[in-house]
Chain A
Amino acid sequence: MKRHLLSIDDLTRQDIERILRRAESFAEVSGREIKKVPTLRGRTIVNLFYESSTRTNSSFELAAKRLSADLVSIKAQGSSVDKGESLKDTVQTLSAYDPAAIVFRSPNAGAAALVARWTSASVVNAGDGKHEHPTQALLDLYTLRRRTGSLEGLRVWIVGDVLHSRVARSGVLAFARMGCHVTVCGPPTLIPRGIEALGCEVSYTLDGLGDADVVYALRMQHERMSGGEIPSLREYAARYQIDGRRLGPSQLLMHPGPVNRGVELAAEVIDSPQALITQQVESGVVVRMAVLYELLAGQGGGTGGEQSQALTVSERTEPQPA
């Protein structure tokens, strides 16, 4: 595995399998009363968020803490970014604390890759603009595989605002890499020209949705819309909302959150047993633990690597209090 996780494209299928297996072993830890392992004790992780986030930020924080890392969390608001400090200077300043990893979210595509050029820490892309959100895709794979057992050959429909969605881009790449057949679906104005290059099919209607094993609904990103993409949320919901009529009894439903109830999803499907939405949130912590572990402790990466490899979670009987 590479030193950074910037894109799903950085990962082979074997890399993904290893991360998912690692996450399963951490899931066991999460079931205990003391949910902590000493793997990253003494190492520092910086969470640098230039864009608001609830679940990604908090699950990365929990992941770092459960691995016993020292954590510094920085949000753009209230930091020197507000005072006009450039990204490069901020990154170099934080790098002076010698962190093992920087978890970075930005409103701009490619920003995480840029950060990786300026620091010796491992960089984890926690969402860069409309480009990618690789850890979301990994937790989606993890969640789905726990339910279905296997991912090979599954037909996945990603429905909604594909244009503005980094979740969709990482998702298409990740599902395709694991052998799924992916279709993206939405209003033509919210499907970017040339998206087929990611390895998916395109549909402008829900007509073929019945063939899907998994329906992955995307959040309508009002905040990113500059106008004119859709005539109204009412018309969008009429054509593309996943509701009890459209979702078949054997189909699974996923959504990256936060949900716009009554827009992309109807209330009855959110609360149905087919929905994996809560499980996705739960998976966030263990999958991000697995990503940090693989980048920092797996394959002898960095200091303490040998020790951590010896202390694989399944071999430990009793987590040490940290």
Chain B
Amino acid sequence: MNRINLTAQAPEAGRLDRAPVPDATALIRGAYLLDPRAGLDGVGDILVRDGAVAEIGAPGTLEAPDGAELVEGEGLHAFPAFVDPHVHLRTPGREDEEDVDTGTRSAAAGGYCAVLAMPNTDPVVDSAPVLRSLRERARAEARIPTGFTAAITVGQNGERLTEMAELADAGAAAFTDDGLPVRSAGIMRQALRYQRLCGGVLALHEEDPTLSRNGVMHEGEVSAVLGLAGIPSVSESTMVARDCELARYEDGRIHVQHVSARETVEIIERAKAAGVQVTAEASPHHLLLTHDAVRSLDTHFKMNPPLRSEDDRQALIDGLRAGVLDCIATDHAPHSREEKEEPFEPAPMGVTGLETAFAALHTDLVLSGVVDLSLIVERMTAGGEPFGIVVPTLAKGAPANLCLVDLAAEWEVGESGYESRSANCAFGGRRLTGRVRMTVAAGAVAFRERSFAIEAVR
């Protein structure tokens, strides 16, 4: 697989695109540098020159070159920026909910330096012309490098493979029918075989429609009390088991999206131990919330897969710690206000999450002592790794992909609106601790909080 480096040159070189921006030259002084993979863990200065990390030094030792921005980092943390392999930019078709500009702005505000967009748009990204037009749009509008995945089956109908080889040539970042499972084991197997020709990871939304049927939430005591049709955990886990077996048989490469159930974590753990090429992601909402939240029948807790039990949530946290779950992905899914203002059953599935992912995980998992800060940073940074995107790092010489975060800042989600065009955030109204102040993506400043002062040297 070709490795994609998140550099300023990425648009021409790889499968990720963004609007042209000048390279940053900036000195960040006295921030706490934390990069678990590079072994950085302490206060220091970091100099970004011409879009790359030029120098790292003890606090107060680095000089800003002429024309550099000077960023006072004291009291802030600098992490490698995050990568989200699972977002919905709703373009083409539902630009009223999100577009490439607002979606990537939302990502940059959350500390992300790259995202992969899902193809369940209208029309579906299942042909090279649609993919090319999206890439062109990203080269005009995207604030950060953005990759576009293409569908596995035509129209996501689960019946016939897309022209995966042509799509790969046109720059598909991966293949997925996200939003829907590949129902037929036979089609799934063909896709895995064809992968030998076209490459590209198959990212899988795992759900057996004959088990999930018309379900709208996790099947359990809460669904029983509310009289809502349930989606059992086995709807997910049985499909993951099937696809791990198929990937093993065909020596294929799969990525399991938004893992929600304990059974699924256990199956992936066994498959990895057996050598199956499988990676997996979990979302902040599945790591932090359970079906108890649905008792309110608030549609901001309706998503697919659904919020499950506390036992499932604990299994996800354990899986994250153990590395069974490789990364954190938001499944950022914007919906219009009028659609979410319906009763629970007819309301659409999905919640936004790019702007709150880090703060929510930091507040509920790190501050409460459940996991270390470095684990969250590592798993949020690693989102592109299953897809061949080089993991961002603060190491000297690397392309500058970093975010500056104030871990002490408290804020109320939604208090000053969202960068996203939609407001259907599961953490809306919550007070969170930890706020992204600035994001540098592929060598250029992609986000800077309005109140966050910088000064230019001379």
Binding site for B on A (CB under 8 A): 86-88, 106-111, 113-114, 128-132, 165-166, 169, 192-198, 226
B297 touches A198 (CB 8 A): no
A108 touches B221 (CB 8 A): no
B228 at the interface (CB under 8 A from A): yes
Which residue on B lies nearest to A197, using beta carbons? Answer: B221
B67 at the interface (CB under 8 A from A): no
Which residue on A lies nearest to B228, using beta carbons? Answer: A109
List chain B residues, Cβ under 8 A from A107: 345
| 8 A-B contacts (beta carbon < 8 Å) | A86-B338, A86-B342, A109-B345, A110-B297, A129-B227, A192-B230, A194-B220, A194-B223
User: How close is A227's CB to chain B, nearest CB, in angstroms?
Assistant: 9
B344 at the interface (CB under 8 A from A): yes
Given A109-B227, A132-B227, also A193-B343 (CB < 8 A): no
Beta-carbon contacts under 8 Å, B183-201 to A: none
Contact partner, A131, options B214, B221, B226, B230, Cβ 8 Å: B226
Chain B 225-240, CB-CB to A under 8 Å as 1, else 0, gives 1111010100000000
List chain B residues, Cβ under 8 A from A195: 221, 224-225
Contact partner, A108, options B219, B341, B344, Cβ 8 Å: B344
A87 touches B342 (CB 8 A): yes
Given A129-B227, A192-B223, also A106-B341 (CB < 8 A): no
Number of residue pairs A-B, CB distance < 8 angstroms: 77
Contact partner, A130, options B219, B220, B227, B346, Cβ 8 Å: B227
Q: How far is the CA of A128 from the CA of B226 in the complex (A)?
A: 10
Given A86-B341, A193-B219, A193-B230, also A108-B224 (CB < 8 A): no
A108-B346, A169-B227 are known contacts; what are 19 more A-B pairs with Cβ within 8 Å?
A87-B341, A108-B344, A109-B228, A110-B297, A110-B343, A110-B344, A114-B297, A129-B227, A129-B343, A131-B227, A131-B228, A132-B227, A166-B227, A192-B223, A192-B224, A197-B221, A197-B224, A198-B224, A226-B213
B366 at the interface (CB under 8 A from A): no
Beta-carbon contacts under 8 Å, B339-367 to A: 341-346
User: How close is A133's CB to chain B, nearest CB, in angstroms?
Assistant: 10
Binding site for A on B (CB under 8 A): 213-214, 219-228, 230, 232, 297, 338, 341-346
Interface centre among A87, A107, A108, A110, by most chain B C-beta atoms within 10 angstroms, is: A110
Interface centre among A108, A111, A128, by most chain B C-beta atoms within 10 angstroms, is: A108
Which residue on A lies nearest to B297, using beta carbons? Answer: A110
User: How close is B294's CB to chain A, nearest CB, in angstroms?
Assistant: 10
User: How close is A75's CB to chain B, nearest CB, in angstroms?
Assistant: 18
Given A111-B343, A129-B227, A169-B227, also A194-B213 (CB < 8 A): no
Which residue on B lies nearest to A192, using beta carbons? Answer: B224
User: How close is B96's CB to chain A, nearest CB, in angstroms?
Assistant: 16
Q: How far is the CA of A318 from the CA of B213 in the complex (A)?
A: 58
Which residue on A lies nearest to B232, using beta carbons? Answer: A193
List chain B residues, Cβ under 8 A from A110: 226, 297, 343-344
Q: How far is the CA of A135 from the CA of B341 in the complex (A)?
A: 26
Which residue on A lies nearest to B344, using beta carbons? Answer: A110
Which residue on A lies nearest to B339, using beta carbons? Answer: A86
B220 touches A109 (CB 8 A): no
B343 touches A88 (CB 8 A): no
Q: How far is the CA of A198 from the CA of B220 in the complex (A)?
A: 12
B219 touches A106 (CB 8 A): no
B297 touches A113 (CB 8 A): yes
List chain B residues, Cβ under 8 A from A128: 343
Closest 7 CB pairs of A and B: A110-B297, A194-B221, A130-B227, A108-B343, A197-B221, A194-B224, A131-B227
B221 touches A196 (CB 8 A): yes
List chain B residues, Cβ under 8 A from A111: 343
Q: How far is the CA of A27 from the CA of B220 in the complex (A)?
A: 41
User: How close is A267's CB to chain B, nearest CB, in angstroms?
Assistant: 30
Given A131-B226, A131-B228, A226-B213, also A106-B221 (CB < 8 A): no
List chain B residues, Cβ under 8 A from A132: 227
Which residue on B lies nearest to A130, using beta carbons? Answer: B227
